Amino acid sequence: MSYVVSTKEEQAQMLKDIGVKNTEELFNDVPKSVLLKTPLNIKEGVSEFEVLKDMEKIASKNRLFKSTFRGAGSYKHLIPEVVKHLSSISGFLTSYTPYQAEISQGNLQGMFEFQSEICNLFDMDVSNSSVYDGASAVAEAMLMTLTNKKNKILFSKSINPNVQAVIKTYAFARNVELIEVLSKDGCLDIEDLTLKMSEEVSAVIIQSPNYYGLLEDIEEIVNISHELGIMVVESVNPLIAPLVKSPGSLGVDIVCGEAQPLGLDRAFGGPYVGFMATKKVNMRKLPGRIVGQTVDEEGKRAYVLTLQAREQHIRREKASSSICTNQANSALRCVIYMGAMGKQGLKEVATQCMSKSHYACNEICRIEGYSLKYSGEFFDEFTIHTPYDIDEINNRLRKLNIEGPLRLSKCSMLVCVTEATSREEIDEFISILKEVSRWS
Amino acid sequence: MELIFEKSVANHRCTLLPKLDVPLYEIDKSVARDTPFDLPEIAEIDLVRHYTKLSKETFGIDDGFYPLGSCTMKYNPKINETVASLKGFTDISPISSPEDVQGALQVYYESEQVLCEVTGMDHISFQPGAGAHGEFSGLLIIKKYHQSRGDFNRNKIIIPDSAHGTNPASAAMNGFKVITIPSKDGLVDLDELDKVLDDTVAGLMLTNPNTLGLYDSGILEITKKVHSYGGLCYYDGANLNAIMGVCKPGAMGFDCIHLNLHKTFSTPHGGGGPGVGACGCRDFLYPFLMNPRIIKTNKNEYAFEESGLSVGKVTAFYGNFLIVVRTLTYLKHLGCNGLREVSDNAVLNANYLRVKLKDTFNVAFDKICMHEFVLDLSSYKEKYGIRAIDICKRMIDFDMHPPTMYFPLIVHEALMFEPTETEGKQTLDKVVEILKNIAIEAKSGSVDLTKAPYTKSYKRMDEVKAAREPILRYVHEK
């Protein structure tokens, strides 16, 4: 069961040609005391049919909800079938990083299209071809901004806590001082930001829409940061791009985030894909693989991995990051998703998300005991304040096979509604909230 | 090939969403987008043809021999893909209550159990996105361990000159100073190691078998020396395919490791990811391993657990889950005998290829190798003006992917072959025949190898132009 091809006879012939008596002899360099005396203590292999059955059984222990109102960094969207089919074609799936450009033009061009589309979404000049996930993208963006003199980073408390956790990890590794900027009415507190700015601060990191679903005042943040020579790193849900002013046009220096909403399954958190884009002036600081256009010897337009002098295999310890393998196939899925949706379709997805979340929000706020916690403009998530027991609400929803909102605190919950949720499903959800209100 | 943007036609589209069934909400004008928004406009059939065409210009394992050294391009079983697309795995939220995702937690728990047995580690986290991310995480654990003991002076990481480029880069990301030591006969030079060992050493990073495909038989002495100075030993698991069921990194004296699930455990590379750089450690480092961890309670349920001393998180959730699903599928399918068979045959195939090629090309450090070996083509360069890259590009004409070239750095004109266990003798014999023919072409000049490949849609690329005049995105020509 190991996909080994050669027969025992062929293997014997090969050993003979090598000039050894048996396989054990091939491992003569392994010290005797290190060699295993007994086989590994794991089960015997079984056929793929039995494995499938076993794995199906494990999969069935995960609950499939008929509808969900939970987001908080991982979103359920409608994914056209064509996305899965095309991105799984075996050439795309079973190839390595495109080191040999002559036989990797498909992957390279796909990455170039990804970079182009990411730049288009945000009005940026340069994008890399992906990093591990949205959180590590924000952390890498943070590292990009550091200089010898500027080793402090401001970050907004309204960033997704998981992203904050990853930033903290990277900051500890690189001995960076992190300073938290408080929130006011669910958004970054501009006064607190101004207070905490200093000469040693290299960048301020924000998220919009933020953890509570709200749009931050990017323009204001950029203006006051740039006055002091502080860069602005914005983490963003790419799906909102067709609707709001672009980070590029507002002067954001690095835009980054999680592209999972662009055609990737929630899949218990991964694989997702982090994206990073910036202005031309920061091009050589951008980590990760970057694909560039060139020509082959006959002058035919083609693509190669480029600006490799930034990278670990050339610069070793002087590289901007150690990243090597990234999330190429996830990025390809995003490109195909964006192609399938197209210019109009992506705007429609965004508009539907916004319309449905506002419909749900309005309906919820009409029920006694529920109110919108923060008043700012939101996208597909919003925070509801309620005195009722949120665990009880979620238990009731669960009985109907509905995944309820994320409990943020005793009295607040984060509700997510996307285009994947029908009005009927929203109304069913609302009816449970009403029920709780009536009984409480 | 045309770009997707160049195929765009106004108002062409594919997927139609369900009709909006709630009142339309229009965003406030003051924040609304005021710059052009450009994405392709294309019908589904044209989208399908575009990416199908691209896929035909992408060489994968399914297309042919792919001996890319240190990358373990083995066959990716199709059953992995079927399992990874089960709705029970794809349609679940990472922030569901643990009671609703017991299956997902079981996948992590079972994979951890099996891989701990394979490696001799006590715990594994699957959070890192790929090998380099695993290195970053593992070194961070080492850093945190030393600091937790009040030892703040350990700022050096020792790395042999044969190491993967990610090793020094990951050390630098952790603020460590990198000390590179020269190799002797392709192995760690114990005298050189002695010279740099002191109480400022945080640890040593090593891959064994190393990038030359050699198993360092001095391994116990090496790890013992590092430990005697209070340093820890980090194992780069990129080359684990050679030793499964043969020996364990834990028994070699390693404290912390990463595994590339997308290499050894058959998950596809996807043209450069997603992978998983599973990070493993011994018990004494467990407090520092990434949060959250997945445990089995005494009620036989799976649950999350956090450690206050942990280095924290390196990705937002639990890593590339569907890659771990594929890994567990592979592990269950192969079982203990299958894994040993993998390593036996990976090593057998590499040695067979080495022996068959050694009269034609010079093998760097010609002795019994593990899963890979390195050819040194400097004599071809000197005598015939043919470089390693020329041989590689000619291989492409015969529907083979070239080996890793110009690595490791300590061998000139290096070609690093890793055939993996999923190639049969017949394929290898054919490869030998082709390579011998290419050697004849190189010597006789009957074919100008510096112009290869000849048979593909694309010739060699102007990489200098790409770097000097960077065009990194498509710009619409108005």
pLDDT per position as a tens digit, A401-419? 999 999 999 999 999 999 9
Mind listing the pLDDT tens digit for each residue in A105-155? 999 999 999 999 999 999 999 999 999 999 999 999 999 999 989 999 999
Provide, rounded to the nearest whole percent, the portion of chain B with pLDDT above 70: 100
Residue B317: its pLDDT value, please?
98
* Nearest residue on chain A to B159, alpha-carbon basis: A317
Mind listing the pLDDT tens digit for each residue in B253-265? 999 999 999 999 9
**CATH number of the domain enclosing B221:** 3.40.640.10
Touching check for A251 and chain B: CB below 8 Å? no
CB contact under 8 A, A269 and B317: yes
Identity of the residue in B38, B332, B421 whose CB atom sits nearest the CB atom of A54? B332
* Residue in B75, B309, B313 to test binding to A, most A beta-carbons within 10 Å: B313
Structure tokens belonging to residue B286: 């467990």
CB contact under 8 A, B335 and A42: yes
CB A266 within 8 A of CB A286: no
**Same domain for B181 and B119:** yes
Structure tokens belonging to residue A316: 């070793």
**Same domain for B250 and B103:** yes
Residues of chain A with CATH 3.40.640.10: 81-336
Strand-pair partners of A416 = A381
Residue B267: its pLDDT value, please?
97
Residue A35: its pLDDT value, please?
97
**Is B186 within the bounds of a domain?**
yes
CB contact under 8 A, A304 and B461: yes
* Nearest residue on chain B to A57, alpha-carbon basis: B103
Q: Is the confidence at residue B16, as pLDDT, over 90?
A: no
CB contact under 8 A, B220 and A125: no
Structure tokens belonging to residue A102: 């002559």
**Is B470 within the bounds of a domain?**
no
Mind listing the pLDDT tens digit for each residue in B94-122? 999 999 999 999 999 999 999 999 999 99
The alpha carbon of residue B27 is apart from the nearest alpha carbon of chain A, in Å, by 7
Q: Is the confidence at residue B478, as pLDDT, over 60?
A: no
Banded model confidence at residue A434, pLDDT cuts 50, 70, 90:
very high
**Same domain for B372 and B233:** no
The alpha carbon of residue B136 is apart from the nearest alpha carbon of chain A, in Å, by 8
**Is B72 within the bounds of a domain?**
no
CB contact under 8 A, B424 and A5: yes
Q: How many domains does chain B have?
A: 3
Spell out a b/e string for B139-166, using b for 16 or more CB atoms within 10 Å of the CB, else e: bbbbbbbbeeeeeeebebbbbbebbbbb
Touching check for B86 and chain A: CB below 8 Å? yes
**CATH number of the domain enclosing B456:** 3.90.1150.10
Q: What is the C-alpha R_g of chain B?
A: 25
**Same domain for B400 and B319:** no
CB contact under 8 A, A88 and B81: yes
Query: Strands B156-160 and B177-181, how do they pair?
Result: parallel
CB atoms within 10 A of CB B2: 10
**Same domain for B318 and B294:** yes
Distance CA B235, CA B64 (A): 31
CB contact under 8 A, A329 and B271: yes
DSSP assignment of A333-354: HHHHHHHHHHHHHHHHHHHHHH
Element (H, E) at B404: strand B404-405
CB contact under 8 A, A64 and B88: yes
Within 8 A of A84 by CB-CB distance, chain B residues are: 85
* Nearest residue on chain B to A346, alpha-carbon basis: B39
Mean pLDDT of B386-405: 98
Identity of the residue in B62, B135, B220 whose CB atom sits nearest the CB atom of A34? B220
Q: Is the confidence at residue B361, as pLDDT, over 70?
A: yes
Residue A317: its pLDDT value, please?
81
Touching check for B117 and chain A: CB below 8 Å? yes
The alpha carbon of residue B94 is apart from the nearest alpha carbon of chain A, in Å, by 4
Residue type present at position A427: D
CB contact under 8 A, B58 and A340: no
Distance CA A96, CA B242 (A): 20
**Same domain for B381 and B272:** no
Distance CA B311, CA B281 (A): 13
Mind listing the pLDDT tens digit for each residue in A227-270? 999 999 999 999 999 999 999 999 999 999 999 999 999 999 99
Q: Please report the residues numbered 170 through 199 in chain B whose beta carbons come closer than 8 angstroms to any beta carbon of chain A.
A: 170-175, 178
Within 8 A of A105 by CB-CB distance, chain B residues are: 1, 54, 57-58, 457-458
Residue type present at position B221: E
Q: Please report the residues numbered 353 through 382 in chain A whose beta carbons come closer than 8 angstroms to any beta carbon of chain B.
A: 354-356, 358-359, 377
CB contact under 8 A, A330 and B270: yes
Fold of A67-78+343-439: Aspartate Aminotransferase, domain 1 (3.90.1150)
Q: Across chain B, which distance is largest between two alpha carbons, in Å? A: 77
Banded model confidence at residue A311, pLDDT cuts 50, 70, 90:
confident
CB contact under 8 A, A2 and B107: no
Q: Look over chain B and give the mean of its residue pLDDT values, rounded to a whole number.
A: 96
CB contact under 8 A, B17 and A249: no
Q: Please report the residues numbered 244 through 263 in chain B whose beta carbons come closer than 8 angstroms to any beta carbon of chain A.
A: 244-248, 251-252, 260, 262
Touching check for B474 and chain A: CB below 8 Å? yes
**Same domain for B325 and B401:** no
Mind listing the pLDDT tens digit for each residue in B425-452? 999 999 999 999 999 999 999 999 999 9
Q: Is the confidence at residue B221, as pLDDT, over 60?
A: yes
Banded model confidence at residue A323, pLDDT cuts 50, 70, 90:
confident
Q: Is the confidence at residue A423, as pLDDT, over 70?
A: yes
**Is B475 within the bounds of a domain?**
no
Residue B241: its pLDDT value, please?
98
Of B304, B333, B362, the position where a domain reaches its end is: B333
**Same domain for B358 and B252:** no
Touching check for B90 and chain A: CB below 8 Å? yes
**Is B356 within the bounds of a domain?**
yes
Identity of the residue in B107, B175, B268 whose CB atom sits nearest the CB atom of A58? B107
pTM of the model: 0.98
Q: Is the confidence at residue A8, as pLDDT, over 80?
A: yes
The alpha carbon of residue A349 is apart from the nearest alpha carbon of chain B, in Å, by 8
Banded model confidence at residue A309, pLDDT cuts 50, 70, 90:
confident
Identity of the residue in A27, A300, A314 whose CB atom sits nearest the CB atom of B458? A300
Mind listing the pLDDT tens digit for each residue in A381-390? 999 999 999 9
**Same domain for B103 and B29:** no
Banded model confidence at residue B276, pLDDT cuts 50, 70, 90:
very high
CB atoms within 10 A of CB A171: 21
Could you tell me the residue range of the domain that residue B98 belongs to? 79-333
Within 8 A of A273 by CB-CB distance, chain B residues are: 274
Element (H, E) at A394: helix A390-399
**Same domain for B277 and B169:** yes
Touching check for A92 and chain B: CB below 8 Å? yes
Identity of the residue in B60, B272, B315 whose CB atom sits nearest the CB atom of A166? B315
**Is B241 within the bounds of a domain?**
yes
Distance of alpha carbon A195 from its chain centroid, rounded?
31
**Same domain for B361 and B329:** no
Within 8 A of B465 by CB-CB distance, chain A residues are: 294-295
Of B278, B302, B333, the position where a domain reaches its end is: B333
**Same domain for B394 and B323:** no
CB contact under 8 A, A34 and B219: yes
CA-closest candidate to residue A210, choices A347, A118, A73:
A73
**Is B307 within the bounds of a domain?**
yes
CB contact under 8 A, A325 and B275: yes
CB A282 within 8 A of CB A254: yes
Identity of the residue in A30, A104, A170 whose CB atom sits nearest the CB atom of B58? A104
* Residue in A23, A306, A323, A325 to test binding to B, most B beta-carbons within 10 Å: A325
Distance CA B205, CA B211 (A): 13
On whether the A81-336 domain is CATH 1.25.50.10, my answer is no
The alpha carbon of residue A439 is apart from the nearest alpha carbon of chain B, in Å, by 25
* Nearest residue on chain A to B466, alpha-carbon basis: A294
Banded model confidence at residue A432, pLDDT cuts 50, 70, 90:
very high
Residues ≥6 apart with Cβ < 8 Å to A227: none
Within 8 A of A261 by CB-CB distance, chain B residues are: none
The alpha carbon of residue A142 is apart from the nearest alpha carbon of chain B, in Å, by 12
Mean pLDDT of A357-363: 98
Of B333, B361, B390, the position where a domain reaches its end is: B333
Distance CA B15, CA B478 (A): 28
Q: Please report the residues numbered 105 through 134 in chain A whose beta carbons come closer than 8 angstroms to any beta carbon of chain B.
A: 105-107, 109-113, 115-117, 119-121, 123, 125-127, 129-134
Spell out a b/e string for B439-474, using b for 16 or more CB atoms within 10 Å of the CB, else e: bebbeeeebebeebbeebebbbbbeebbbeebbbbb
Q: Look over chain A and give the mean of its residue pLDDT values, rounded to a whole number.
A: 96
Touching check for B308 and chain A: CB below 8 Å? no
3-state SS assignment for residue B367: coil
